[in-house]
Amino acid sequence: MPQILKLNEISPVADKEFPAGYTFAKEAANPDGIMLRSFNMHEYPLNDELLAVARAGAGTNNIPIPACTAKGIVVFNTPGANANAVKELVICELFLGGRKITDAIDWVKTLKGTEGVGKTVEKGKSKFVGHEISGKTLGVIGLGAIGVMVANTAVDLGMNVIGYDPYLSVAGALHLDNRVRTASLDALIASSDFITVHVPLTPDTEKMFNTDTFSKMKDGAVLINNSRGELVDADAVLAAVERGKLERYITDFPSDKLIGVQNIICVPHLGASTPEAEDNCAQMAAKELVDYIENGNITNSVNFPNVCAPRTSVARVAVMHDNVEGVISKITAVISESGINIANIIDKSKGDKAYMLLDLDAKVSDKVVDAIKKVNSVFRVRVFQ
């Protein structure tokens, strides 16, 4: 029976999603599937039997995606499962950005053991005057599950909200409050009092907030980053805060350069640190693994296309192949020559890789499967019957 390796502690709600007979381990040489959260897999051996890796969270920087893709290992994540937890932290940080709450709390702690605390507080509180967020403009960069929730909540708090996302999905657009207006990235940056960023870390987005970006921002703006630390150039943000261009920088990704700097608030990566979010992510990751292991269906993969269909036929063949011309016809020819009818076929690509599901009206022999494996550009075949 399939074995699932857990490289991190995973919420026990995940175990309930697996059929009877699955086993779980914290160490295993040849697992069929891997579940993890923050474990760094870049030096981890990928066994030949490994079918899939499921990250109980959105980011997959800790997983060797190219190496997994080359071996036909599907990498799943769980977009949206922790969205509410991150949204709530961002809303908290909006208030921290507008009001000098953390500075004031630190100051009050220094009054411990002194006489006349009440009078001292009344005299000293003027040093911590802040401003309200209502009526201010919030720019939301990235309108995925988290960005949409942040934008909608901020509108309800009385903020003017501008969104930017060149890849806004139909689902995202449908869930976005109609009071949120969209704009170009430069227009958003120039007109926002607060900016919160919700985009993945890629070569294109690395250090997207740099000296040039800060020069386009309003004086005294607040930048909130709960996505990835590398989206922001640390030296540039230090300079922007020092000269007052940024009133505050708030990040969920502390670094040695940023810790302890005035007007920079470092949160210790608490975005998804709630039991509710951990349960949601674990449950979604488990469902993705089971559906792929049992049925060959792919949902929420970062390295292969989403290909999903109910199983209604006698047999199913799943084929991973390079996205090149002529492969589909060669594979279907093998099936046809064996005298088996193809009831349904789905083939989708993602980059230079493609994935095919063939539902068949009869079982396939080992000889037919071997013939499919020998088709040029095919690199992994699985059979369900």
Summarised one tens digit per residue, pLDDT across range 10-30 is 999 999 999 999 999 999 999
Residues 174 and 247 in one domain: yes
- Count other C-beta atoms under 10 Å from residue 215's C-beta: 11
DSSP structure string for 341-378: -EEEEEEEEETTEEEEEEEESS---HHHHHHHHTSTTE
Q: Find, among 358, 338, 337, the residue nearest to 347 by Cα.
A: 358
What is the band of 84 on the pLDDT scale with cuts at 50, 70, 90? very high
Choose the final residue of a domain: 283, 302, 321. Answer: 302
Mapping DSSP to helix (H, G, I), strand (E, B) and coil, where does residue 301 land?
strand
Residues 262 and 283 in one domain: no
306 has a pLDDT exceeding 90: yes
Choose the final residue of a domain: 266, 294, 327. Answer: 266
- What's the domain count of the chain? 3
Q: Which of 91-126 are b and which e, b meaning 16 or more Cβ less than 10 Å from the residue's Cβ?
A: bebbebbbbbeebbeebeeeeeeeeeeeeeeeeeee
Give the separation between CA 346 and CA 216, rounded to whole angstroms: 47
- Phi/psi for 71 (5° steps) reads -95, 5
Residues 253 and 181 in one domain: yes
Residues 75 and 174 in one domain: no
Residues 66 and 129 in one domain: no
Give the CA radius of gyration of the chain.
25
Q: What mean pLDDT is predicted for residues 323-336?
A: 96
272 has a pLDDT exceeding 90: no
Residues 173 and 320 in one domain: no
Choose the final residue of a domain: 241, 266, 291. Answer: 266
Residues 65 and 134 in one domain: no
Give the separation between CA 159 and CA 139, rounded to whole angstroms: 10
Residues 115 and 259 in one domain: yes
Cα separations in angstroms, 243 against 130, 176, 262, 281: 19, 36, 12, 41
Torsion sign (Cα): 336, 338, 343, 348? negative
Q: Indicate the burial class of 17 (C-beta count within 10 angstroms; 0-12, 13-18, 19 or more).
A: middle
Residues 93 and 62 in one domain: no
**pLDDT for residue 125:** 95
What is the band of 1 on the pLDDT scale with cuts at 50, 70, 90? confident
- Cβ pair 265, 102 in contact under 8 A: yes
Q: Do you know the residue count of the chain?
A: 385
What is the average pLDDT score of the chain?
96
Q: What mean pLDDT is predicted for residues 290-301?
A: 98
Give the separation between CA 128 and CA 122, rounded to whole angstroms: 11
58 has a pLDDT exceeding 90: no
Structural domain range at position 240: 83-266
Residues 258 and 113 in one domain: yes
Residues 59 and 25 in one domain: yes
171 has a pLDDT exceeding 90: no
CATH of the domain at 284: 3.40.50.720
DSSP, res 302? S
Give the separation between CA 23 and CA 4, rounded to whole angstroms: 6
CATH of the domain at 330: 3.30.70.260
Residues 15 and 163 in one domain: no
What is the band of 59 on the pLDDT scale with cuts at 50, 70, 90? confident
Please tell me the number of Cα atoms within 13 Å of 327 on its side-chain side. 23
Q: Find, among 326, 329, 384, 325, the residue nearest to 360 by Cα.
A: 384
95 has a pLDDT exceeding 90: yes
